[in-house]
Amino acid sequence: MKAQLNIDFILAVTLFIISILFVSYTVMQNAFLLRSEIDKEQKRLIGYAISQLIIFDKGYPEDWNSLDSLQKFGLSLSPYILSRNKINAINNCSYENYNKIKNLLSLPTENDFLLIITNQYDETISKCGLEHKLREIVWIRRFAILDGNIVKINLGIY
Amino acid sequence: MKGFIKILEVVLSLLLIFGILPFFTSFSKSNDEWNNALLSLSLRDILISLDKSGILKSYIVSGNLEGLKNYISSLLPGNVMIEIYVNGIPKNVIKIGCNCTLEEKIRLERSLGIYFPEDYTFSLRGKIVRFEFLNTNEIEKMGDADVIIFFGCRDLSKYLNYLNEGKAFIMIGNDICEEKIFNITLKDGLVSSYSQINSNSLEPFRIGEYFIDVPIRIYNNSNFWVKEMSHSLYVCIDNNSLPCIRIDNLPEEYHIGDTITIDETRIKIKDIDADESDGRVFSDISIIASFIFNLSLILSFLKSIFSVVIFSANIPGLISIFSFKQKNSSFILSHDSKLTCLFIPFSA
């Protein structure tokens, strides 16, 4: 048996190992990014679904103006026209009310939302939700009409 | 030789490995697609909201596109740039060049309902539009005109360049021209032949929509046509001293805002001026939009009311869109976004 290794063989093995390491590193890195991306996609889908409810759904009862009587969440009077009473009702919502809305929205336990409705000049009209400093947030921005003016609906999903 | 083969194997392996790498990195595209989708969603929301709140209409009617652009920009993130184009609305001033005699011009003014100077300006879906006649009857001097009107057949091959400039030509007459005007052969057909005119495959030609709610001025004691049937219109004053109209000498009196169904066509009375002091007595009527847009009905209505030939082309090669012949009149209508409200009643 020959104990001496050919220089070509050493070079080939070295290149092969480097390639394997590079591919492994890339796959590992992308696996984390993919996981994060899937998470974001889910949040975006949840956010989009909730934003549709906000803009198009009146909720139940249709003329609700207090979270106590609320059975189904929705902030509109008609598509794209928001109700001032409903927006006032959710403004500065308490932790209990937040949880009630979260349950009505069937939001997964591990997710939270933050809803901020502002006017054209980004002045807050209504705000409800939880803020997390360490968790990544995904924002969905929609537009609707409130009292004849266009308002921005910023919905963040944690 | 053996070493060379090993090197070759390594190179091939590397090529394979790097070849499959894009599959691991392709997901990054989805982020861009989401951003585009969310931006499209925002813009759709903004346009619907602007429309529903009436803000869009006020900007469009006043012609303040810069203001509209600034308004929309203020709602979007700072790094988004927008451009706005509005198509399909009439110009504020429609300049008419009439290649006609004085008698023909008077006939045209009565046809358009602009016989009196006060009628030169009118409201079309909230937008103020004004007709202006050029002070010439020579086509050569009608470079400023938006539309050139003439009576009877004639050879217009010299003025093809006007079509390319976006001008419209309107021929008023009862004859089918034997010769080719602008080298176009007139096509005969029935309304049903054009039932697909509003289909998606002909999206740019959704001309039927322009005829809804367009006020047509009928002077007192004049005729108008609905579905090939002539009807007379008389302006009257009722027992409560309110202006009214009567159709075909029937006793029923109709007032502003009333809707009449004539020959299965719903017509709304938009305005009545019964003040005879200025000799200007008229009623403005229009077809009403139905929830189910019935193009054949509208075409029937138009076919019977208007006897005109319109030539217009924004796109070279697309000059006539549809045409049909009815009784002794011919009709070709071509859509031009700069001219949407100029129709000539046959009753002139």
d(CA B89, CA B1): 78
In a domain, B248, yes or no: yes
Helix then strand then coil, % of chain A, to nearest 5: 40, 25, 35
Say yes or no: B48 contacts chain A, CB-CB below 8 A: yes
Residue B82 is predicted with a pLDDT of 86
B232: domain range?
A: 216-287
Q: Do B121 and B140 lie in a common domain?
A: yes
For residue B290, pLDDT over 60 is answered with: no
Pairwise CA distance, residues B231 & B267, whole Å: 13
Put simply, whether B75 touches A (Cβ < 8 Å) is yes
Q: Does the residue A98 lie in any domain?
A: yes
Determine, yes or no, domain membership for B323. Answer: yes
- Token pair 């419209």 is found at B168
Q: Is residue B82 within 8 angstroms of chain A, CB to CB? A: no
Counted residue by residue, chain B has a size of 348
Contacts of B46 in chain A (CB under 8 A): 143, 150
Helix ranges restricted to H, A3-83: 7-56
Residue from B7, B49, B71 whose CB has the most chain A CBs within 10 Å, to mutate: B49
Does residue B81 form part of some domain?
no
Same domain, B100 and B174: yes
Asked if the Cβ–Cβ distance from B42 to A141 is below 8 Å, we say: yes
CA angle B326, B108, B228 (to 5 degrees): 25
CB A158 within 8 A of CB A114: yes
Residue of B99, B95, B60 whose CA lies nearest to B165? B95
Longest alpha-carbon distance in chain A: 91
CA B145/CA B210 separation, integer angstroms: 21
DSSP 8-state assignment for residue B137: -
Residue B347 located in a structural domain: no
A-chain CB neighbours of B75 within 8 Å are 120, 143, 150, 152
Mean pLDDT of B57-71: 87
State which of B107-111, B115-119, B152-156 shows the largest mean pLDDT: B115-119
**Contact present, A57 and B54 (Cβ < 8 Å):** no
My answer on whether B34 and B172 are in the same domain is no
The tally of domains found in chain A comes to 1
Predicted pLDDT at B226: 66
What ipTM was predicted for this assembly?
A: 0.84
Residue B198 pLDDT grade (very low, low, confident, very high; cuts 50, 70, 90): very low
Q: Are residues B196 and B308 in the same domain?
A: yes
B180 domain residue, yes or no:
yes
Do residues B128 and B249 share a domain?
no
Which residue range(s) make up the domain with A142?
48-157
pLDDT, position B321: 31
Same domain, B71 and B199: no
Structure token digits, residue B93: 């001033």
**Is residue B131 situated within a structural domain?**
yes
State how far residue B38 is from chain A, nearest Cα, in angstroms: 7
B13 to chain A, closest Cα gap in Å? 8
- Does residue B243 sit in the same domain as residue B263? yes
Q: Which of A89-98, A106-115, B38-47, B278-287 has the least mean pLDDT?
A: B278-287
Distance of CA B113 to the CA centre of its chain: 18
Q: Which chain B residues contact residue A49 at CB under 8 A? A: none
A3: in domain: no
Average pLDDT, chain B: 71
Decide: B135 and B128 in contact? Cβ < 8 Å. no
Residue A108 lies in a domain: yes
Average pLDDT over residues B137-157: 83
What does the pLDDT read at residue B232? 87
Within 8 A of A142 by CB-CB distance, chain B residues are 41-42, 45
B80 part of contact set with chain A, CB < 8 Å: no
> Is a pLDDT exceeding 60 seen at residue B209?
no
Minimum-distance CB partner of B52 among A120, A141, A145:
A145
Q: How many CB pairs under 8 A join A and B?
A: 76
Grade residue B331 by pLDDT with cuts at 50, 70 and 90: very low
Closest partner residue to A80 (CB to CB) among B9, B21, B48 is B48
B202 and B237 within one domain: no
**Contact indicator for B136, B156 with CB cutoff of 8 Å:** no
**Mean pLDDT value across residues A45-73:** 89
Q: Are residues B222 and B204 in the same domain?
A: no
pLDDT one-digit tens code per residue, B232-269: 889 999 999 999 999 998 999 999 999 988 877 778 89
Higher pLDDT, A106 or B225: A106
How does pLDDT run across B174-185, given as a tens digit for each residue? 555 666 666 655
**Rg over CA atoms, chain A:** 25
Number of folded domains that form chain B: 3
Band (pLDDT 50/70/90 cuts) for residue B318 is very low
User: What's residue A113's pLDDT?
Assistant: 92
Strand locations in chain B (E): 93-99, 121-124, 127-133, 147-151, 168-172, 216-219, 222-226, 229-237, 243-247, 259-262, 265-273, 282-287, 308-312, 322-326, 329-333
- H or E element in which residue B24 lies: helix B2-25
Closest CA to B326 of B294, B300, B296, B344: B300
Q: Give the A-side interface with B, CB within 8 Å.
A: 6-9, 11-12, 15-16, 19, 22-23, 26-27, 30, 33-34, 37, 41, 44, 48, 55, 80-81, 120, 140-145, 148-150, 152
Mutate to test the interface with B, among A150, A151, A152, A154 (most CBs of B within 10 A): A150
Whether B12 and chain A come into contact, CB under 8 Å, resolves to no
Single residue among B75, B109, B130 that ends a domain in this structure: B75
Flag whether A122 is in a domain. Answer: yes
Find the closest chain A residue to B47 by CA distance: A143
B109 Rama sector, left if φ>0, alpha if ψ -120 to 50, beta otherwise: alpha
Q: pLDDT for B292-303, tens place per residue?
A: 333 344 444 444
Mean pLDDT on B164-187: 65
